[in-house]
Amino acid sequence: MNPEQQRSLLAIALFAAFADGAKDEREREHIRAMAESLGGEAGAPDLTRLYQDVLLKRLSLRQAVQTLTEPEHRLLAYEMAVGVCDADGATNDAERRFLDELRGMLGLAPDLAERAKTEVEDVVRLSGQAVPAAAAGPVVAAMPKVSEAELNRSILNYAILNGALELLPQSWASLAIIPLQIKMVYEIGKAHGVELDQGHIREFLATAGVGLTSQYLEQFGRKLLGGLLGKAGGKTMGMLGGMATGMAFSFATTYALGQVAKRYYGSGRQMSAALLKQTFQELLGPAKALQSRYLPQIQETAGGLNAAKVMALVQGR
């Protein structure tokens, strides 16, 4: 996959992010930060410029589609768009119209597109199944005694698992990371006597600086720019550097998020939004350094994962 094709795939993902017409400046800021974090690499698309091209309509969806000539690249573009549209847990009418238009432009057979859509949505939908729905907001129960050592072990296990998912070649693996992070936060809240609903957890992640749409885009972007999903001469290009970057990112993000959640619910939810975000950013650096210590466990975990096991883990079976 050449840089122009990479650029087109990421442009399509950005079009998907803006398909619902929502003017959420916080989510746009997350996407802007994602573009800056991925841009500037040798041979990589200038994602900051690409973000502006999409937002200011200097690049059309049809132009992006036209550079994708390989069937597998066109199918990947559709899968990425479905994942981004479903990032908030539901696909609205505007997003469904966008996906129908995209499918037509890509020339995908309806049955192939539907099968791909179902597979991606099944993984994304697990984020909703991981946490029980609640009619109202979070309900505060009596604060129990919580073993910090046990919570730390659980957070570390989630971080190792999400780092291992980055080592799997299947694109669906990255989609399971966010549902597992949501499940982890739910369990941390419950350990502190707080029953959380899905809306509260998603708001917590966004406040801490982990936007759902932007995180999906960043996961796809890092894999594309690392060459993991590219193809040349019929061979999958599995570049070790890209895998290491993704593994470190997912391990660190999950570990830092778990530690912030532990502090937040342990303090009776007294941390402000600004302090939540600051604490999360401060914990990312040490978490990335910690990842190298647990590399053998991450690799061992990856070796024992398959689609059925990942689904079962997210659903708590």
| pLDDT tens digits, 137-146 | 454 544 555 6
| Statement: residue 301 has pLDDT above 90 | yes
Phi, psi for 119 (deg, rounded to 5): -65, -45
CA 208 vs CA 18, 204, 259, 273: distances in Å: 22, 6, 11, 7
> How confident is the model at residue 55, as a pLDDT?
84
CB atoms within 10 A of CB 277: 17
The band of 3, judged by pLDDT with boundaries at 50, 70 and 90, is: confident
> How confident is the model at residue 123, as a pLDDT?
62
> How confident is the model at residue 16, as a pLDDT?
86
Structure tokens that stand for 288 in this block: 């990335």
Question: CB of 211 within 8 A of CB of 28?
Answer: no
Question: What proportion of the chain, given as a percentage, has pLDDT over 90?
Answer: 20
If you average pLDDT over residues 93-115, what whole number do you get?
90
Q: Using CA atoms, how far apart are residues 76 and 119, in angstroms rounded to an integer?
A: 12
- pLDDT, the chain, mean: 76
The band of 116, judged by pLDDT with boundaries at 50, 70 and 90, is: confident
| pLDDT tens digits, 200-220 | 777 787 777 666 566 666 666
Q: Which residues of 75-95 are buried (b: 16+ CB within 10 A; e: fewer)?
A: bbbbbbbbbbbbbbeebeeeb
Q: Is 229 exposed, middle or buried (0-12, 13-18, 19+ CB in 10 A)?
A: buried
**Residue from 238, 284, 293, 240 nearest 258 by CA:** 284
Q: Which own/partner pairs from 238-241 qualify as long-range (CB within 8 Å, at least 24 positions apart)? A: 238/169
CATH of span 1-124: 1.10.3680
Residue-range domain boundaries for the chain: 1-124, 133-317
Question: What proportion of the chain, given as a percentage, has pLDDT over 70?
Answer: 66
> How confident is the model at residue 242, as a pLDDT?
47
